[in-house]
Amino acid sequence: MTDLKILFDAVVAGKLEIAVATTNSALAEGIAAQTLINEYLIKGMEEIGQRFEDGKVFVPNLLMSARAMKGSLDILKPLLKDSTSTVLGKIVIGTVKGDLHDIGKNLVASMLEGCGFEVINLGVDVSSEKFVEAIKENDADIICMSALLTTTMTYMKEVIAAIEAAGLNDKVKIMVGGAPVNDAFAKQLGACFYSDNANGAVQTAKKLMSA
């Protein structure tokens, strides 16, 4: 029987090969992909994130952990897709203009995609115009904005203003997240939904699509 704590430890330590090997072993033993994601991969990323906040690790450690998790997630995502018969909704996601951070945003995008959503990932440094254009082109149901800096999170207001100006505010639901963002800030922005982690973002998106 595979010791699944090894998977958690591999993510925290940024050991790609060990994470991939453990994931494959766990799947061969019949352990559900969603269990591996929720109980080990996400928790591993939350642990390394907390260590970063505490000043115990640094950016290279975060990047290595994200790489290890992506290696496992790339194996697991197709299995989740195969178990989903229909697309739950279309989501446009991006890090706002002026911000080049994408680890958390990519994690959320991968989780959303793996759980049955069609995800249009616009990348980083995304302007309000690009968000609006992507919503129109893809007939999106939800837009997800991310920011890691207090100096860039305020740009979310400009994106929302552009969405309203384009007459799309009644069509698309808006979700926000990122290290400096909280529920109070989301409420200040208006009709926004907030999540502080990838799994929470998935659950919120599911609720929005079923409302």
pLDDT(69) > 90: no
pLDDT score at 84: 45
Q: Give the percent of the chain with pLDDT over 90.
A: 59
Among the ranges given (122-126, 136-140, 165-169, 196-200), the one the predictor scored with the smallest mean pLDDT? 196-200
Across residues 160-187, what is the average pLDDT? 94
pLDDT(54) > 90: no
pLDDT(201) > 90: no
The mean pLDDT value of the chain amounts to 89
pLDDT score at 135: 97
pLDDT(197) > 80: no
Residue ranges per domain, the chain?
5-82, 90-210
Say which CATH superfamily domain 5-82 falls into: Methionine synthase domain (1.10.1240.10)
Of the candidates 151, 206, 207, the one whose C-alpha atom is nearest the C-alpha of residue 180 is 151
pLDDT score at 13: 97
- Tell me the C-alpha distance between 103 and 62, whole Å: 8
pLDDT score at 85: 44
Asked: is 90-210 a CATH 3.40.50.280 domain? The reply is yes
pLDDT score at 179: 87
